[in-house]
Amino acid sequence: MLNRFLIVVLAILNVGVALWWMAPRAPEPLPPEPAETGVARLELVSPEVLQAAAAAAVPPAAEAADPPAAAADTSTERCLSLGPFTDKAQAQAAVATLGADLLRSHLREVPPRAASSYRVILPPAATREEAQATAKRIADAGFGDYFIMGQGEEANAIALGQYRSREGAERRQATLVEAGFPAQLRASGGEEASSWWLDAAHAGTVPAAALQRRSGAARQQVLDCARLR
Protein backbone atom coordinates (compact mmCIF):
# COMPACT_ATOMS: atom_id res chain seq x y z
CA MET A 1 0.00 0.00 0.00
CA LEU A 2 2.75 2.37 0.84
CA ASN A 3 4.42 1.90 -2.50
CA ARG A 4 1.25 2.74 -4.33
CA PHE A 5 0.84 5.87 -2.32
CA LEU A 6 4.34 7.02 -3.12
CA ILE A 7 3.86 6.31 -6.78
CA VAL A 8 0.68 8.44 -6.86
CA VAL A 9 2.42 11.31 -5.05
CA LEU A 10 5.37 11.24 -7.46
CA ALA A 11 3.02 11.23 -10.41
CA ILE A 12 1.19 14.29 -9.08
CA LEU A 13 4.48 16.12 -8.49
CA ASN A 14 5.67 15.33 -12.00
CA VAL A 15 2.42 16.68 -13.48
CA GLY A 16 2.75 19.86 -11.39
CA VAL A 17 6.33 20.45 -12.51
CA ALA A 18 5.35 19.85 -16.11
CA LEU A 19 2.51 22.38 -15.88
CA TRP A 20 4.83 24.94 -14.27
CA TRP A 21 7.30 24.61 -17.12
CA MET A 22 4.57 24.88 -19.72
CA ALA A 23 3.04 28.04 -18.20
CA PRO A 24 3.98 31.36 -20.09
CA ARG A 25 6.49 33.61 -18.35
CA ALA A 26 7.05 37.40 -18.54
CA PRO A 27 10.17 38.28 -20.57
CA GLU A 28 13.07 39.30 -18.53
CA PRO A 29 13.96 43.05 -18.93
CA LEU A 30 16.89 43.76 -21.17
CA PRO A 31 19.87 45.17 -19.43
CA PRO A 32 20.39 48.91 -20.10
CA GLU A 33 22.89 49.78 -22.77
CA PRO A 34 25.91 51.56 -21.47
CA ALA A 35 25.57 55.34 -22.05
CA GLU A 36 28.23 57.17 -23.97
CA THR A 37 30.19 59.71 -22.04
CA GLY A 38 28.89 63.30 -22.46
CA VAL A 39 25.60 62.24 -24.19
CA ALA A 40 22.27 62.94 -22.47
CA ARG A 41 20.11 59.94 -21.83
CA LEU A 42 16.65 59.86 -23.39
CA GLU A 43 13.75 58.99 -21.18
CA LEU A 44 10.17 58.27 -22.19
CA VAL A 45 7.62 60.57 -20.62
CA SER A 46 4.04 59.56 -19.99
CA PRO A 47 1.18 61.46 -21.74
CA GLU A 48 -0.06 62.73 -18.36
CA VAL A 49 3.28 64.40 -17.68
CA LEU A 50 3.31 65.99 -21.14
CA GLN A 51 -0.19 67.46 -20.67
CA ALA A 52 0.72 68.90 -17.27
CA ALA A 53 3.87 70.51 -18.69
CA ALA A 54 1.94 72.04 -21.60
CA ALA A 55 -0.66 73.49 -19.25
CA ALA A 56 2.03 75.05 -17.10
CA ALA A 57 3.74 76.62 -20.14
CA VAL A 58 0.62 78.50 -21.31
CA PRO A 59 0.80 82.07 -19.90
CA PRO A 60 -2.32 83.43 -18.21
CA ALA A 61 -4.62 85.27 -20.55
CA ALA A 62 -3.69 88.93 -20.78
CA GLU A 63 -6.18 91.26 -19.31
CA ALA A 64 -8.30 92.94 -21.91
CA ALA A 65 -6.81 96.24 -22.88
CA ASP A 66 -8.73 99.24 -21.84
CA PRO A 67 -10.91 100.53 -24.67
CA PRO A 68 -9.34 103.52 -26.41
CA ALA A 69 -10.53 106.80 -25.16
CA ALA A 70 -13.20 108.31 -27.30
CA ALA A 71 -11.72 110.67 -29.81
CA ALA A 72 -12.28 114.28 -29.04
CA ASP A 73 -15.08 115.86 -30.93
CA THR A 74 -13.82 117.51 -34.08
CA SER A 75 -14.04 121.24 -33.98
CA THR A 76 -16.83 122.85 -35.91
CA GLU A 77 -14.78 126.00 -36.30
CA ARG A 78 -14.99 127.58 -39.74
CA CYS A 79 -12.97 130.43 -41.17
CA LEU A 80 -13.56 133.05 -43.84
CA SER A 81 -12.29 136.37 -45.15
CA LEU A 82 -14.61 139.35 -45.51
CA GLY A 83 -13.79 142.45 -47.58
CA PRO A 84 -12.47 144.44 -49.15
CA PHE A 85 -12.83 147.46 -46.87
CA THR A 86 -11.46 150.81 -48.03
CA ASP A 87 -9.68 151.50 -44.73
CA LYS A 88 -8.87 149.96 -41.37
CA ALA A 89 -11.66 151.80 -39.60
CA GLN A 90 -14.28 150.10 -41.77
CA ALA A 91 -12.76 146.69 -41.03
CA GLN A 92 -12.73 147.41 -37.29
CA ALA A 93 -16.38 148.46 -37.47
CA ALA A 94 -17.21 145.11 -39.10
CA VAL A 95 -15.51 143.27 -36.21
CA ALA A 96 -17.59 145.26 -33.71
CA THR A 97 -20.78 144.56 -35.65
CA LEU A 98 -20.26 140.79 -35.77
CA GLY A 99 -19.23 140.73 -32.11
CA ALA A 100 -19.80 137.42 -30.35
CA ASP A 101 -20.43 135.56 -33.61
CA LEU A 102 -16.66 135.58 -34.16
CA LEU A 103 -14.40 133.23 -32.19
CA ARG A 104 -11.29 135.16 -33.20
CA SER A 105 -10.35 137.63 -35.92
CA HIS A 106 -7.43 139.34 -37.62
CA LEU A 107 -7.31 142.45 -39.81
CA ARG A 108 -5.14 142.12 -42.90
CA GLU A 109 -4.00 144.91 -45.21
CA VAL A 110 -3.59 144.20 -48.92
CA PRO A 111 -1.09 146.59 -50.55
CA PRO A 112 -2.11 148.47 -53.68
CA ARG A 113 -1.61 146.83 -57.05
CA ALA A 114 -0.27 148.88 -59.91
CA ALA A 115 -1.85 148.75 -63.35
CA SER A 116 0.03 147.25 -66.25
CA SER A 117 -0.40 150.46 -68.29
CA TYR A 118 -2.14 153.85 -68.30
CA ARG A 119 -4.11 155.56 -71.04
CA VAL A 120 -4.81 159.22 -71.65
CA ILE A 121 -8.17 159.72 -73.33
CA LEU A 122 -10.84 162.33 -74.13
CA PRO A 123 -14.37 161.12 -73.25
CA PRO A 124 -16.58 160.00 -76.15
CA ALA A 125 -18.20 162.77 -78.18
CA ALA A 126 -21.89 162.70 -79.05
CA THR A 127 -21.22 162.11 -82.77
CA ARG A 128 -18.42 161.11 -85.05
CA GLU A 129 -18.33 164.60 -86.58
CA GLU A 130 -17.88 166.20 -83.17
CA ALA A 131 -15.01 163.83 -82.38
CA GLN A 132 -13.34 164.68 -85.69
CA ALA A 133 -13.64 168.40 -84.98
CA THR A 134 -12.02 167.94 -81.55
CA ALA A 135 -9.22 165.87 -83.10
CA LYS A 136 -8.53 168.74 -85.55
CA ARG A 137 -8.22 171.22 -82.68
CA ILE A 138 -5.80 168.84 -80.90
CA ALA A 139 -3.63 168.69 -84.02
CA ASP A 140 -3.76 172.46 -84.44
CA ALA A 141 -2.56 172.81 -80.82
CA GLY A 142 0.55 170.86 -81.72
CA PHE A 143 -0.32 167.50 -80.21
CA GLY A 144 0.25 164.27 -82.08
CA ASP A 145 -0.22 160.58 -81.24
CA TYR A 146 -4.02 160.47 -81.19
CA PHE A 147 -6.82 158.62 -82.93
CA ILE A 148 -10.62 158.43 -82.81
CA MET A 149 -12.00 155.17 -81.43
CA GLY A 150 -14.69 153.72 -83.67
CA GLN A 151 -16.52 151.05 -81.67
CA GLY A 152 -17.44 149.73 -78.25
CA GLU A 153 -18.30 151.70 -75.17
CA GLU A 154 -15.61 154.22 -76.02
CA ALA A 155 -16.77 154.88 -79.58
CA ASN A 156 -16.04 158.51 -80.63
CA ALA A 157 -13.56 158.91 -77.75
CA ILE A 158 -10.09 160.18 -78.64
CA ALA A 159 -7.11 158.13 -77.43
CA LEU A 160 -4.11 160.36 -76.69
CA GLY A 161 -1.45 157.82 -75.78
CA GLN A 162 -0.73 154.75 -73.66
CA TYR A 163 2.10 154.64 -71.10
CA ARG A 164 3.73 151.97 -68.99
CA SER A 165 4.32 154.35 -66.06
CA ARG A 166 1.74 156.43 -64.31
CA GLU A 167 4.09 159.42 -64.19
CA GLY A 168 4.39 159.59 -67.97
CA ALA A 169 0.63 159.36 -68.40
CA GLU A 170 0.07 162.09 -65.82
CA ARG A 171 2.49 164.46 -67.60
CA ARG A 172 0.65 163.92 -70.90
CA GLN A 173 -2.69 164.51 -69.23
CA ALA A 174 -1.51 167.70 -67.53
CA THR A 175 -0.21 169.13 -70.80
CA LEU A 176 -3.53 168.52 -72.58
CA VAL A 177 -5.56 169.98 -69.70
CA GLU A 178 -3.42 173.15 -69.78
CA ALA A 179 -4.22 173.41 -73.50
CA GLY A 180 -7.96 173.27 -72.78
CA PHE A 181 -8.71 169.60 -73.48
CA PRO A 182 -10.45 167.61 -70.68
CA ALA A 183 -8.14 164.60 -70.87
CA GLN A 184 -8.64 161.73 -68.46
CA LEU A 185 -6.27 159.12 -67.06
CA ARG A 186 -7.45 155.51 -67.13
CA ALA A 187 -5.57 152.49 -65.81
CA SER A 188 -5.43 149.23 -67.73
CA GLY A 189 -4.70 145.83 -66.23
CA GLY A 190 -6.50 145.95 -62.90
CA GLU A 191 -5.06 148.75 -60.80
CA GLU A 192 -6.32 148.44 -57.24
CA ALA A 193 -5.89 150.69 -54.23
CA SER A 194 -4.85 149.28 -50.87
CA SER A 195 -7.64 147.52 -48.99
CA TRP A 196 -8.37 145.77 -45.70
CA TRP A 197 -9.78 142.30 -45.11
CA LEU A 198 -11.26 140.70 -42.03
CA ASP A 199 -10.02 137.14 -41.48
CA ALA A 200 -12.26 135.50 -38.89
CA ALA A 201 -13.20 132.18 -37.32
CA HIS A 202 -16.80 131.42 -36.39
CA ALA A 203 -18.67 128.46 -34.93
CA GLY A 204 -20.79 127.87 -38.02
CA THR A 205 -24.04 128.61 -36.23
CA VAL A 206 -24.56 131.68 -38.43
CA PRO A 207 -24.35 131.29 -42.24
CA ALA A 208 -21.36 132.92 -43.87
CA ALA A 209 -23.68 134.89 -46.16
CA ALA A 210 -25.35 136.44 -43.10
CA LEU A 211 -21.96 137.42 -41.64
CA GLN A 212 -21.00 139.04 -44.94
CA ARG A 213 -24.26 140.98 -45.15
CA ARG A 214 -24.00 142.28 -41.59
CA SER A 215 -20.34 143.26 -41.99
CA GLY A 216 -21.02 145.28 -45.13
CA ALA A 217 -18.32 143.41 -47.07
CA ALA A 218 -18.64 143.12 -50.82
CA ARG A 219 -17.15 139.61 -50.95
CA GLN A 220 -16.40 136.58 -48.80
CA GLN A 221 -13.73 133.95 -49.30
CA VAL A 222 -13.20 130.57 -47.64
CA LEU A 223 -10.10 130.66 -45.42
CA ASP A 224 -7.97 127.81 -44.09
CA CYS A 225 -8.18 128.14 -40.29
CA ALA A 226 -4.49 127.21 -40.03
CA ARG A 227 -3.66 130.50 -41.79
CA LEU A 228 -5.60 132.60 -39.29
CA ARG A 229 -3.02 134.14 -37.00
DSSP string, 188-210: ES--B--EEEEEEEE-SSS-HHH
CATH of residue 133's domain is 3.30.70
- Rounded distance between C-alpha atoms, residue 217 and residue 198, angstroms: 9
The per-residue pLDDT for range 39-49, each reduced to its tens digit, is: 556 555 566 65
What is the reported pLDDT for 170? 94
- Rounded distance between C-alpha atoms, residue 129 and residue 154, angstroms: 15
Domain membership flag for residue 3: no
What is the reported pLDDT for 157? 95
Within the chain, residue ranges assigned H as helices are 2-22, 47-57, 88-98, 128-140, 166-178, 208-215
The per-residue pLDDT for range 46-104, each reduced to its tens digit, is: 666 556 666 666 555 544 445 444 443 435 899 999 999 999 999 999 999 999 999 99
Pair (198, 182) in one structural domain? no
The per-residue pLDDT for range 160-177, each reduced to its tens digit, is: 999 988 899 999 999 999
What is the reported pLDDT for 70? 40
- Rounded distance between C-alpha atoms, residue 145 and residue 33, angstroms: 127
Domain membership flag for residue 23: no
Radius of gyration of the chain (CA): 57
Pair (147, 161) in one structural domain? yes
CA atoms within 13 A on the CB side of 146: 26
Domain membership flag for residue 182: yes
| This model's pTM is above 0.85 | no
For the stretch 31-68, what's the b/e string if a residue is b when 16 or more beta carbons lie within 10 angstroms of its beta carbon?
eeeeeeeeeeeeeeeeeeeeeeeeeeeeeeeeeeeeee
Domain membership flag for residue 200: yes
- Rounded distance between C-alpha atoms, residue 147 and residue 104, angstroms: 55
Pair (206, 109) in one structural domain? yes
- Give the structural domain span for 201: 78-113+193-227
Q: Is the pLDDT of residue 222 over 70?
A: yes
Q: What is the mean pLDDT of the chain?
A: 81
Pair (169, 154) in one structural domain? yes
Pair (121, 178) in one structural domain? yes
Residues 6+ apart with CB under 8 A from 188: 115, 116, 117, 118, 119, 162
Pair (154, 204) in one structural domain? no
Rounded mean pLDDT, 168-195: 88
The residue among 27 and 5 whose pLDDT is bigger is: 5
Rounded mean pLDDT, 180-204: 88
The per-residue pLDDT for range 94-153, each reduced to its tens digit, is: 999 999 999 999 999 988 777 788 999 999 999 999 999 999 999 999 998 899 998 888
Pair (219, 204) in one structural domain? yes
Q: Is the pLDDT of residue 37 over 60?
A: no
Query: How many folded domains does the chain comprise?
Result: 2
What is the reported pLDDT for 53? 63
Lowest-confidence pick of 11-20, 30-39, 114-123: 30-39
Domain membership flag for residue 59: no
Rounded mean pLDDT, 154-163: 93
